Structure 1
Amino acid sequence: MLQQHPGLYFAPSGKHRYGMFCTEDILADSVIEICPILIIPGEQAREIVRGYILYEYYFEWKKDSIALALGYGSLYNHAATPNAFFEADYKNQYIIFKAATDIPSGTEILVDYHAGNPDEQVWFEIK
């Protein structure tokens, strides 16, 4: 099931090259998007995508797999203080994006790539 908040769009971003925005206000705790995923199983999954553009777009999935989110799921930019978050639905194999705060129309939708683990490092320069 692909579900998206009305008005989502991909556009140039002042934070990174492009990012996700919405033409409508999004209320805190609202579902922004439910993304189906493609799972790449096995301990070698990260090595399979290393060196390819996909390396920058995957999500950790359980202990030894990675997932590629369909829809807009891999296009949300990172922020240490995000206005949205994501959670894994392992049973149904979705990644669900929700608003952490009210997000006004035209504001970039940002998630924390660390998924709540501040000790993890990102692989790019944070602007």
Structure 2
Amino acid sequence: MIEIKNSPISEGEFTRGVFATMDITKGICFHQAPVVAYPNEEHEHIEKTLLADYCFEFGVGRTAILLGYGMLFNHAYHPNATYEINFDNETFDFFAHKDIKAGEEIFINYNGEPDDPELLWFDQEK
């Protein structure tokens, strides 16, 4: 249902994105990314690495690194996908926020809410 390819929006050494291999209907869960969760106190160690840009809040006092394709979705302020944290399953579940066509890149809003316009760290630096 999804695959990793080079993204036309990415530049530098990190050029990957997640793409649909078939049409995905709005509301469909198309990926469950398992997580490795850890206490926030340990995040200071992660902050010294490239992984810091790929971590997500995971409930109160915890942070998570996503496995599977979870860390490879690119950002858009008006995305075609969203995610829900599934604490019972310890996954981030990705859903089509809009109909997604085969071949289309799949985007999430890193702010968590699909239409949250708050500028992210990489846009604030510009």
TM class by smaller structure = 0.7 to 0.9
- The 5 A counterparts of 1:73-88 are 73-88=70-85
Quote the Cα distance in structure 1 between the aligned partners of 2:110 and 2:34: 18
Cα distance, 1:119 vs. partner?
6.5
Letter in 2 for 1:90: F
One of 61, 70, 75 as aligned partner of 1:64? 61
Q: In the alignment, is residue 9 of structure 1 matched against residue 3 of structure 2? A: yes
Letter in 2 for 1:52: T
Q: In the alignment, is residue 106 of structure 1 matched against residue 107 of structure 2? A: no
Q: State the Cα RMSD in Å.
A: 1.9
Where structure 1 has 5 or more consecutive residues not aligned to the other structure, the ranges are 1-5
TM-score under structure 1 length normalisation:
0.86
Cα distance, 1:118 vs. partner?
3.1
Quote the Cα distance in structure 2 between the aligned partners of 1:70 and 1:57: 10
Identity of aligned residues (%): 32
Q: In the alignment, is residue 28 of structure 1 matched against residue 35 of structure 2? A: no
Change (3 A) 1:44 1:111: same
Cα distance, 1:122 vs. partner?
1.8
One of 49, 54, 67 as aligned partner of 1:52? 49
Count matched residues.
Answer: 120
Where structure 2 has 5 or more consecutive residues not aligned to the other structure, the ranges are none
Higher helix share: 2
